[in-house]
Amino acid sequence: MTDIVDELKWRGLFALSTDEDALRKALADGPVTFYCGFDPTAASLHVGHLVQVLTMRRLQQAGLRPLALVGGATGQIGDPRPTAERTLNDPETVAAWVGRLRSQIEPFLSFEGTNAAVMVNNLDWTAGLSAIEFLRDIGKHFRVNKMLTKDSVARRLESQEGISYTEFSYQLLQGMDFLELYRRYGCTLQQGGSDQWGNLTAGLDLIHRLEPEAQAHCIATPLMVKADGTKFGKTEGGAVWLDPAMTTPYAFYQFWLNVDDRDVSTYLRILSFRSREELEEMERLTQERPQARTAQRALAEELTTLVHGAGQTAAVIAASKALFGQGELDGLDAATLGAALSEVPHVRVAELGPVVDLLTEVGLAPSKSAARRTVKEGGAYVNNVKVASEDAVPAVEDLLHGRWLVLRRGKKNLAAVEVTGA
CATH number of the structural domain spanning residue 379: 3.10.290.10
CA–CA dist 244, 43 (Å, integer): 12
- What residue numbers bound the domain in which 274 lies? 225-333
CATH number of the structural domain spanning residue 22: 3.40.50.620
In the predicted model, is pLDDT for residue 73 greater than 70?
yes
Domain count, the chain: 3
Quickly state the pLDDT bin for 159 (edges 50, 70, 90): confident
Q: Are residues 106 and 203 in the same domain?
A: yes
Quick check: 418 and 346 in contact, CB under 8 A? yes
CA–CA dist 24, 154 (Å, integer): 33
Q: Are residues 127 and 159 in the same domain?
A: yes
Q: Are residues 232 and 360 in the same domain?
A: no
The number of beta carbons lying within 10 Å of the beta carbon of residue 147 is: 18
pLDDT at 119 (0 to 100): 98
User: Can you name the residues that pair with 414 across neighbouring β-strands?
Assistant: 408
Q: Are residues 267 and 303 in the same domain?
A: yes
Overall average pLDDT of the 205-211 stretch:
95
Residue 380 is inside which H or E element, if any? strand 380-382
- Residue 33 phi, psi dihedral angles, 5° rounding: -105, 130
For residue range 37-65, what is the model confidence (pLDDT) as tens digits? 999 999 999 999 999 999 999 999 999 99
- Answer yes or no: is 217 within a domain: yes
Q: Are residues 360 and 250 in the same domain?
A: no
Q: Are residues 148 and 292 in the same domain?
A: no
- Answer yes or no: is 132 within a domain: yes
Instruction: Judge whether 35 is annotated as a binding position.
Output: yes
Q: Are residues 382 and 290 in the same domain?
A: no
For residue range 266-286, what is the model confidence (pLDDT) as tens digits? 999 999 999 999 999 999 999
Q: Are residues 37 and 184 in the same domain?
A: yes
Side-chain half-sphere CA neighbours of 24 within 13 A: 11
pLDDT at 84 (0 to 100): 81
Instruction: Judge whether 174 is annotated as a binding position.
Output: yes
Quick check: 293 and 287 in contact, CB under 8 A? no
For residue range 320-373, what is the model confidence (pLDDT) as tens digits? 889 888 888 988 999 999 999 988 999 999 989 999 999 999 999 999 999 999
Q: Are residues 81 and 191 in the same domain?
A: yes
- Answer yes or no: is 48 within a domain: yes
In the predicted model, is pLDDT for residue 2 greater than 80?
no
Quickly state the pLDDT bin for 312 (edges 50, 70, 90): very high
In the predicted model, is pLDDT for residue 385 greater than 90?
yes
* Chosen domain end from 194, 221, 248: 221
Overall average pLDDT of the 101-114 stretch:
97
In the predicted model, is pLDDT for residue 112 greater than 70?
yes
Instruction: Judge whether 185 is annotated as a binding position.
Output: no
Going across the sheet that includes 380-382, the strands are 346-349, 413-419, 404-409, 380-382, 385-386
Q: Are residues 87 and 210 in the same domain?
A: yes
45 φψ region: left (φ > 0), alpha (ψ -120 to 50), beta (else): beta
Give Cα 339 to chain centroid, integer Å. 18
pLDDT at 160 (0 to 100): 79
Q: Are residues 124 and 211 in the same domain?
A: yes
Indicate the length of the chain as a whole number: 422
Overall average pLDDT of the 194-210 stretch:
92
Pair type for strands 65-70 and 33-38 = parallel
The average confidence (pLDDT) of the chain is 92
Quickly state the pLDDT bin for 158 (edges 50, 70, 90): confident
In the predicted model, is pLDDT for residue 237 greater than 80?
no
- Answer yes or no: is 339 within a domain: no
CATH number of the structural domain spanning residue 308: 1.10.240.10
